[in-house]
Amino acid sequence: MKFTRGYWMTRDNFTMNFATQCVRVEKTDRQLHVLAACRPVRGRGDILNSATLDVTFTSPMENVIRVKVTHFAGKVDRAPHFATLETPTHPSIAEDAESVSFTSGCLTARVVKQEGVWQVDYLCGDTLLTSSSYHGMAHALDRDTGKPYMIDSLMLDVGERVYGLGERFTPYVKNGQSVDMWNADGGTASELAYKNIPFYMTNRGYGVFVEDTSDVSFEIASEKVERVQFSCEGETLIYDIICGGTPKETLNLYTALTGRPPILPAWSFGLWLSTSFTTDYDEKTTSSFIDGMKERDIPLSVFHFDCYWMRGYNWCDFIWDPQTFPDPEGMLQRYHEKGLHLCCWINPYIAQASHMFQEGMEHGYLLKKTNGDVWQTDLWQAGMGIVDVTNPDARAWYCGYLKKLLRMGVDCLKTDFGERIPVKDIAYFDGSSPLHMHNYYTFLYNQMVFETIKEVRGEGEAILFARSATAGSQQFPVHWGGDNSASYVSMAETLRAGLSMSHSGFGYWSHDISGFESTAPADVYKRWVQFGILSSHSRLHGSTSYRVPWAFDEESVDVVRKFVKLKNRLMPYLYGAMLEAHEKGTPMMRPMMLEFPDDEACETLDRQYMLGERLLVAPIFRKDGSVSYYLPGGCWTSLLSGESKEGGTWQKETHDFFSLPLMVRPGTVLPLGQRDDRPDYDYEDGLELHVYALCEGESVTVRIPDLKGKICAVYTVTMKNGQAQVETDSVKPYTVILH
């Protein structure tokens, strides 16, 4: 939201109260309180007829400073708040004649004490990171609507770039963009986003998390080109400055504060195949897909039933359509016997034709209007209502139906929607603010489903396929990118969105291979298969047509087979990368700048990524197979061809459908498993350690997890006299291969 017209003028409808100078300081052992006058105070009369802003500095964990800015403190707080995982800290406070400082770990907030000057500097040690300064912090009143807003803006340095803010399909670097935190079902070709996360980081080694669940508005080098401005409706603004020093460490701190991604079951990393959305299918059809994959030697891990496993007009009643699936329990058992895990589509909307609508209405489980009526719409399902997730009894009722489904034999759930949550004339069970619940609804929705699966299936076995999200939703994975199109352009925007998700604390992400809308030509399908299988999670899904590879051409069958089997062999490495996401918040699919923060060439790269710490992937977005990608310094090796290339340069290549740039980082020991037919197996048994460009005297340690995410073996490889020497606690045979 923009409040000014140029540098000096305010927009006509706004009355602005800017923090102008520090007039009072109060210190305790754990917090610093500053009173900011909104005009220069030169004498006693200047305190009259003028606003102040109360600014409080605290520290929820070391190297994180929380800033709370309040105009009127008497406003009733009905907003849901992000749950943060705080740890005790012992900040230090120092004051002299010129300033007062609040320090947590290496991070300091320094407030200038000078007449007519407002300046808060944030420093990492002695290095200035950013500042809130002249016309930065403010309260605004929209005289046309009567709505108040709280604002702050932080300075950007020369060459400073901003990343994150959730899953955004717009340019990867956010400088110059206006971004509003408002979850919406807008597809992937728009500025709207399914997953809005009010957290950004910059290439200077810090991040900012605005702790407000409403539609926080960001102006990123847009309204004021020297600053990132953020604002929200209300009388209080809370945000955290997070200083990790590096992008990885900043994500480590942010996810420690908002929640880490959990350990996921190893089977979830295999290939998922869907019925697709509006296609006609029954058990005969789905069995033909499953058997067709087996006949063509394509390993399949998960089969997904989309919306029409239930009857139309009845979504969601969690009852299998008796016309198409007359024996669901028997079918699920038969599919389990084929070695599959099974997923079903759900959402939090209850159609009027469903028996659950009457139940929900009678017991007060559905979202209501302020007059007590059930809120209803015909958009999506006729007369549908929405589960009121703030009502504990409603959550138990809804999840009770899910438990029956899970005990029938379903292993996981696709939690679709959660973005179309009404705001006007809405009354929640617990009195929550509808404005703040619009985005936060998805957190409670996915949380209750994830916890239900965990309760039934056990720790480490819970997984969703979720579309909507907010801050902290990384605790309930996996998230996929929503409704994309069947084109190279949409494939590229899907990658940009995923990279932004990675900057926002999400350890895993996926997408509809070959696009959801329309049907891709065979070349797009095959190129997207490469990208999709070299993602953390891989799903073949679409709208109006089946996505089995033989529906495109026979070569597609061979391409899918090749890359699924490759991913299965990579599982000792990929499952280790999953553990890193769980332990440190470092995403499995990570932007280049996250892994190479000191290489300025990596700061804008949005058509390639690192898969874990050691593999570089450059998807191909052109029909002719041409690709241009950048290699950081050192000698990189193609995992597919064995060809070596010197880094520090751009590479231009052309690839057939069985190849793409999949490059191994210099100094890598890459563990490959012995099996290519499934993702869940004993990774230690028959392990191969592939050694790439390891320097003389250099050592690399590789940890091999078991299927519960516990480390079962450790291998330390050292290059001595041109030979790889291995120290290990494993008693199982392994092979070392030098490249």
Please list the active-site residues.
Answer: 416, 419, 483
Tokens at residue 653, please?
Answer: 């290549």
Residue 39: Cβ within 10 Å count: 16
Burial classification of residue 574, based on how many CB atoms lie within 10 Å of its CB (0-12 exposed, 13-18 middle, 19 or more buried): buried
Crossing angle of the two packed helices 355-363 and 392-408, in degrees rounded to 10: 150
Tokens at residue 259, please?
Answer: 């929640």
Tokens at residue 122, please?
Answer: 């944030």
Beta bridge partners of 220: 228
Determine the residue type at 109.
Answer: A
Apex CA 613: angle with CA 252 and CA 534, to 5°? 110
Eight-state DSSP code of residue 375: P
Cβ(341)–Cβ(266) under 8 Å? no
Residue 651: Cβ within 10 Å count: 16
Provide the sign of the torsion angle of the four alpha carbons 76, 82, 88, 94, taken in this order: negative
What is the spatial distance between Cα 728 and Cα 320, in angstroms, rounded to a whole number?
51
Please state, in angstroms and as integers, the Cα–Cα distance from residue 15 to each residue in 217, 227, 478, 533, following that order: 18, 21, 44, 53
Kindly state the helix (H) or strand (E) to which residue 669 belongs, with its residue range: strand 668-672
Tokens at residue 209, please?
Answer: 């998390």
Tokens 């290496």 map to which residue?
106
Please state, in angstroms and as integers, the Cα–Cα distance from residue 160 to each residue in 130, 170, 433, 656, following that order: 10, 18, 36, 38
- Could you give the 3-state DSSP secondary structure of residue 650? strand
Q: Provide CB contacts within 8 A for 661, sequence distance 6+.
A: 608, 616, 617, 618, 627, 629, 638, 651, 653, 655
Look at the chain and count its residues.
739
Tokens at residue 42, please?
Answer: 């030169």
Cβ(54)–Cβ(17) under 8 Å? no
Cβ(484)–Cβ(475) under 8 Å? no
For β-strands 120-124 and 236-243, DSSP reports them as: unpaired
Pseudo-torsion of CA 65, 445, 150, 208, nearest 10°? 30
Determine the residue type at 259.
Answer: G
Q: Chain-centre distance of CA 495, in angstroms? A: 13
Q: Residues 622-635, buried b or exposed e (16+ Cβ, 10 A)? A: eeeeebebbbbeee
Q: What are phi and psi of 9, to 5 degrees?
A: -95, 145
Q: What is the DSSP string of 585-645?
A: ---SEE-HHHH-TT-GGGTT--S-EEETTTEEE----STT-EEEEEE-SSEEEETTT--EE
Kindly state the helix (H) or strand (E) to which residue 334 belongs, with its residue range: helix 328-337
Tokens 């701190």 map to which residue?
253
Cβ(247)–Cβ(597) under 8 Å? yes
Q: What share of the chain is helix, strand, coil (3-state, %, to 5)?
A: 20, 30, 45
What is the spatial distance between Cα 433 and Cα 80, in angstroms, rounded to a whole number?
7
What is the spatial distance between Cα 572 and Cα 684, in angstroms, rounded to a whole number?
8
Beta bridge partners of 153: 229
